Amino acid sequence: MISQELNDRITRIGSGTPAGTVLRHYWQPAALVEELHASLPIAVNLLGERLALSRNQLGHWVLTGRKTQIDEPVVCYPDADQIQILEDGPTYPVAENNGIIFAYLGDGEPPDFPNFDCFRADESHVFAFKGLWECNWLQALEIGIDPAHASFLHRFLSDEDAEGSYGKQFRDTVVQTDIPITHVLREYPCPEIDVEETDYGLKITALRHMDNGRTHVRITNQIFPEAICIPMSQEMTITQWHVPIDDENCYWYAMFTSFGEPVNKEVMRTQRLKEHELPTYAPKKNRLNHYGFDPSEQKTQTYTGMGMDINVHDQWAVEGMGTIQDRTREHLGRSDKAIIRYRRMLRKALKAVEMGDRAALPMQGNAHVKTIVGPLSNDTIALTDDWFGVSYRADLKRRAACSWDASIL
């Protein structure tokens, strides 16, 4: 339970707000490159600001302020000829990186990009997509750093053949085994959770102790301020930002990064367009149609009864808390370790920006941001005594076999 004042401090992101100032010190996903095939400029609504993305005469991307139309909805994509650039509006730095246009809305020089796998992988090995969630960015982020929720919210009552799992999360087998992830999550719902503060944010380890002295190890990451990096399958990870459109809406931007074969982008895009409307990238399953809830499915197939796409489960969970979660009525428990550590980092960052101490923020100041690699993100099953070594070696083995330079040593 925190007061409304403290909740506002960590959730609201308008210009001049504490959390908004922290987010503005980092590159933010602003648009997918695939959106730019439309006529330019395109509207970009980011951190409560109404912006437009276009190219200048040199062909460089330019992000500028635009006039807001009367009764314009929060999520809107007006035609290019309807967009009017503000002559005295802000102009922000822009960078294109593996399918996503990033923007820097803060003061001073933008920081370097870390050397994360999603940025250093070849373009052929990264697929980017996004989706709309109608809720505050923080609750969207916090579900992604809770290792326990997957055993309930994403519980599948039976296991699927991994052959048909391409491009889907939690549908593969654990590396070097034939044990489906769905089986592990379902049968071992109470992980031991360890959270470690790192240069980039948090390393989150969930240990599910199994039979015969074995342990399932799942390593995920929080990348400060509002991204996660999690394993998707044996060969892919997901690096996902939860980017505020305003205080009550956000986009998730995901970079699916393959350590194996080049990503079949056509398959992955087709899978996701079945679930999303263009041009808003709004989910077809939503509050208005009860997220596709089917009681018979809930009885026999899934915990939620909301289909096989785990994004829908998460969307229902975070939108169901209200547009901005009321944390005056919240009761976190000790298993919410990662959320507790994350809020601590965020509150420290809020204090730091209020003191004008930008260098105290993760990946800012004198930090050698370009030397930050990884992060390690995988699922393994190991003898309990050597779970750390097995996880680490599995990551090194995957990196060694990678066609792009994924080395971390």
Partner 1 sequence: MGCFDPVNIVPIEARLFEDCVDGYFPLSVTLAHLLQRQCFGSALIAIRVAPMMDIPNLESGAPVPLHINPLYSGQIDWLVAIARMQPLGSCSIVSGWAQWHWNDRARDKVSRLPHSLRLAEPAYVHGIGFVQGHLRTRSLGRVKLAETSSCVALHMPNIDLSDFSTDVPQFDTVESLCWSLNPTYFLEWFDHSVVGSWGCRYSLNLGNGSEELLLVEKRCEVIWRALISDTRAYTKRSFDAVPA
Checking phi first, is residue 146 left (phi over 0); if not, alpha (psi -120 to 50) or beta?
Answer: beta
By CB under 8 A, tell whether 190 contacts partner 1: no
Judged by CB, which is closer to partner 1: 25, or 313? 25
Q: Which of 6, 40, 210, 321 binds partner 1 (CB under 8 A)?
A: 6
Between CA 254 and CA 172 the distance in angstroms is 19
Closer residue to partner 1 (CB): 1 or 157: 1
Q: Binding to partner 1 by residue 274, rule CB under 8 A?
A: no
Sign (positive or negative) of CA dihedral 314, 317, 321, 325:
negative
Question: 370 and 114 in contact (C-beta within 8 Å)?
Answer: yes
The residues pairing with 238 across neighbouring beta strands, listed in sequence order, are: 230, 256
Is 8 one of the binding residues for partner 1 (CB under 8 A)? Answer: no
Binding flag, residue 367, partner 1 (CB under 8 A): no
Contact status: 192 vs partner 1 (CB under 8 A): no
**Per-residue x/- mask for partner 1, residues 97 to 126, rule CB under 8 A?**
------------------------------
Question: Which candidate, 266, 363, 302, places its Cα nearest to that of 22?
Answer: 363
Nearest-approach distance from CB 352 to partner 1, in angstroms: 11
- Judge whether 316 and 126 are in contact, CB under 8 Å: no
Neighbours of 285 (CB within 10 A): 19
If the CB atoms of residues 277 and 330 are measured against partner 1, the closer one turns out to be 330
Binding span for partner 1 by CB under 8 A among 64-72, 208-216, 247-255, 323-331: 323-331
59 binds partner 1 (CB under 8 A): no
Smallest distance from partner 1 to CB 341, Å: 5
Q: Which span (13-21, 293-301, 331-339, 369-377) binds partner 1, by CB under 8 A? A: 331-339
| Residue 227 phi, psi dihedral angles, 5° rounding | -125, 165
CA distance 138 to 132: 14
- Among 16, 164, 295, 333, which residue interacts with partner 1 (rule: CB under 8 A)? 333
Contacting range for partner 1; rule: CB under 8 A; set: 104-112, 269-277, 302-310, 332-340:
332-340
Among positions 12, 125, 337, 398, the unique one binding partner 1 when judged by CB under 8 A = 337
Binder to partner 1 among 149, 341, 398, 399 (CB under 8 A)?
A: 341
Interaction between residue 1 and partner 1 (CB under 8 A): yes
C-alpha span between 167 and 264 (Å, rounded):
9
Pull the structure tokens for residue 164: 């048909």
Contact range with partner 1 by CB under 8 A, out of 59-67, 92-100, 292-300, 322-330: 322-330
Q: Which two tokens stand for residue 364?
A: 């800012």
> Quick one: 210 exposed, middle or buried, by C-beta within 10 A (0-12, 13-18, 19+)?
middle
Rounded Cα gap, residues 304 and 306, in angstroms: 5
Hey, what amino acid is at 148? Answer: A
Q: How far, in Å, are 31, 110, 157, 226, 361 from residue 138 at the CA level?
A: 20, 23, 30, 8, 18
Q: Does position 334 bind partner 1 by CB under 8 A?
A: yes
Binding mask 347-366 for partner 1 (x = CB under 8 A): xx--x---------------
Total binding residues for partner 1 by CB under 8 A? 22
Question: Any contact of residue 5 with partner 1 (CB under 8 A)?
Answer: yes
The C-alpha atoms of residue 179 and residue 212 are separated, in whole angstroms, by 14
How far apart are the C-alpha atoms of 30 and 27, rounded to whole Å? 9
Pairing of strands 115-116, 373-374: parallel
**How near is the Cβ of 362 to partner 1 at its closest, in Å?**
13
Q: Does 130 bind partner 1 (CB under 8 A)?
A: no
* Site of interaction with partner 1 (CB under 8 A): 1-6, 328-334, 336-337, 340-341, 343-344, 347-348, 351
